Structure 1
Amino acid sequence: MIGTSHVNSYLEGNDDCCVCTDKALLRQPSTTEYLPGMLHADSPSGLLPQFPSWSLICLGPSSLYSHNLGLQDQQQAGLLGGSAYLLPWDVTVRLQHHSKERGNSWPAVGDQFRHKQAPGQHTILRGRKTKTGNKDLSEFVVKIFIGVEYECPRGHRFMCSAPDKVLKTTGSGLVKDNGNKVTGSDMPLYFPCPCRNAKPLVAQLMRIHVVTPKAPIHVTLNPKVQPAPAPCPVFITGFEQPIRLSQSAYWVLRLPYVYVGDHGPYVTPKEPVPLNYGRLLAGMYSITEVAPEEK
């Protein structure tokens, strides 16, 4: 795992508990019978895998990452040159429960926060102006940082800025790409490692980095992976709802290294394969508003 975590949540079925409601008693997952492999979209209900395969870690506050400097030194072990950065992703947010009475709620767009932000950290960028010239605080833009990290058998690590492109900064360390392509497209599970040109090694998508903003929203994750062409199943975490990440924090989702179906494992190819051979399906990232009772 990367760095030291203060929150470590192992995923797969943690929210499947026995809940008594007015309508019915929901079934509790079996503790004597387990799936033969990992949880996927076609798995029978009520059964869980014998061990977790996904891991979600909070490394700490969002100030751990500075877009001017890139990842911290302790996170750069094995990262290829020019790839130790995350991609900025600007998202327009429209609040449904916005109140005109600000009180002790979140600061307005353009207000200065009481705490000092690290260089390169941006939270709320701008609000939409109304016809009267006032800023509409129910609609604004937040900046999220995303990293899609691959690792080859030799331990070389690198980020991708698109389904077919390795992230590379300019000579002065500037990142010209943004996160629109990696968040809006299927990302290949396997990618040729740029560590050598003669016979490229196959690198595998292993980690998703997310730096969440200090804003009244939750970044949510709903990863779905198909490690081989159909009829290979789509592997999931088992949560009924997308996983909500806390605000102003640096999160890392570690993907499984081996995907095991009902009839055995889907092993990593030893030779380069088409980029659409295995995929992290699009639609993984989303935004939800913080509920009024959470503010």
Structure 2
Amino acid sequence: MLHSESPPGLLPQFHSWSLVCLGPSSLYSHNLGLQEQHHPGFLAGSAYLLPWDVTVRLEHHMKERFWSSNDPRNKNAPQRNRRKGTKEFNVKIFVGVEYECPCGHRFMCSSPDKVLKATGSGLVRDNGSKVTNCDMPLYFPCPCRNSKQLIAQLTRIHVVTPKAPVNVTLNPRVQPAPSPCPVFVTGIQEPVRLSQSSYWILRLPYVYYGDRGPYLPPKEHTPSNYGRLLAGLYGISEVPPDTK
């Protein structure tokens, strides 16, 4: 596997990361959450993504078809900033940081130290600012009711991209153990661009294997900084003018 200590030009011996587009963004409804038939195994109240509102400034002029003012029924379209002449607008992205324990229980976290828990009516009170701007623990105690405390591992990143002339980008970096453990990367030089108005899932490696052997998950609860998905995973870039 490629990591921060790998020599330049080295190619991975096997695939460790997977990025899949499930389909259009309409596959996710924030009112309903993730559906059991498509995403089985989630603990009650945790099968939701977090809304993440981002203010974007563009360098190029935008076409009017991107503005919601042309169609008041389109609530997912970008909202233009009211200041005259500005190229700033707000977009809503949905993100999810998913963990899974050895028993197959799945859940989302809403911050580095908190499991996402919606209300009984499906209301999500948290937003995506903490999971997008902080290091996230690679290992987290599973909240399932098991006689023995199980450790869940961060396995997937969910992203629902907006209907806007921007690309959400991903640049995952994982340090699965304390230093001097290296930081594991995909080997792609530039952040990966995700297409607009789509539902994407990034699957992280199940095992991190370095030059000194595998970095195995801890068997009991450890400090949250034992293994980390490093901050800086998410980015926003403008869609090139010739592709609008």
Unaligned runs of at least 5 residues, structure 2:
none
Letter in 2 for 1:251: W
* TM-superposed deviation, 1:87: 0.1
Letter in 1 for 2:196: Q
- Please show how residues 43-54 of structure 1 align to structure 2 within 5 Å: 43-54=6-17
Letter in 2 for 1:233: P
- Please show how residues 283-294 of structure 1 align to structure 2 within 5 Å: 283-294=232-243
Would you say 1:225 and 2:146 are equivalent positions? no
Letter in 1 for 2:199: Y
Q: Quote the sequence identity (%).
A: 69
Partner of 2:123: 174
Under a length normalisation based on structure 1, what TM-score does the superposition of the two structures give? 0.79
* TM-superposed deviation, 1:129: 1.6
Letter in 1 for 2:70: D
* TM-superposed deviation, 1:76: 3.2
Q: Is the 8 A contact 1:60 1:249 kept in 2?
A: yes
* TM-superposed deviation, 1:110: 2.5
Letter in 1 for 2:10: L
* TM-superposed deviation, 1:42: 1.4
**Aligned-partner Cα distance in 2 for 1:200–1:106:** 52
Partner of 1:55: 18
**Aligned-partner Cα distance in 2 for 1:163–1:270:** 19
* TM-superposed deviation, 1:95: 0.6
Of 170, 177, 184, 1:235 maps to 184
Would you say 1:123 and 2:95 are equivalent positions? no
Would you say 1:149 and 2:98 are equivalent positions? yes
Partner of 2:151: 202
**Aligned-partner Cα distance in 2 for 1:107–1:152:** 41
Would you say 1:106 and 2:65 are equivalent positions? yes
* TM-superposed deviation, 1:197: 6.5
Q: Is the 8 A contact 2:160 2:197 kept in 1?
A: yes
**Aligned-partner Cα distance in 2 for 1:69–1:83:** 12
Letter in 2 for 1:107: F
Q: Is the 8 A contact 1:108 1:137 kept in 2?
A: no
Under a length normalisation based on structure 2, what TM-score does the superposition of the two structures give? 0.95
**Aligned-partner Cα distance in 2 for 1:217–1:107:** 11
Q: Is the 8 A contact 1:151 1:203 kept in 2?
A: yes
Of 211, 214, 217, 1:265 maps to 214
* TM-superposed deviation, 1:198: 5.3
| Deviation readout 1:161-182 (Å, 9 max, x if unpaired) | 0000000001211000000000
Q: Is the 8 A contact 1:106 1:215 kept in 2?
A: no
RMSD: 1.6
**Aligned-partner Cα distance in 2 for 1:262–1:50:** 13
Letter in 1 for 2:28: Y
Letter in 2 for 1:249: S
Of 18, 33, 51, 1:70 maps to 33
Partner of 1:188: 137
* TM-superposed deviation, 1:107: 2.5
Q: Which has the higher contact order (CA 8 A, sep 6+)?
A: 2
Q: Is the 8 A contact 1:214 1:248 kept in 2?
A: yes
Would you say 1:88 and 2:47 are equivalent positions? no
**Aligned-partner Cα distance in 2 for 1:80–1:220:** 28
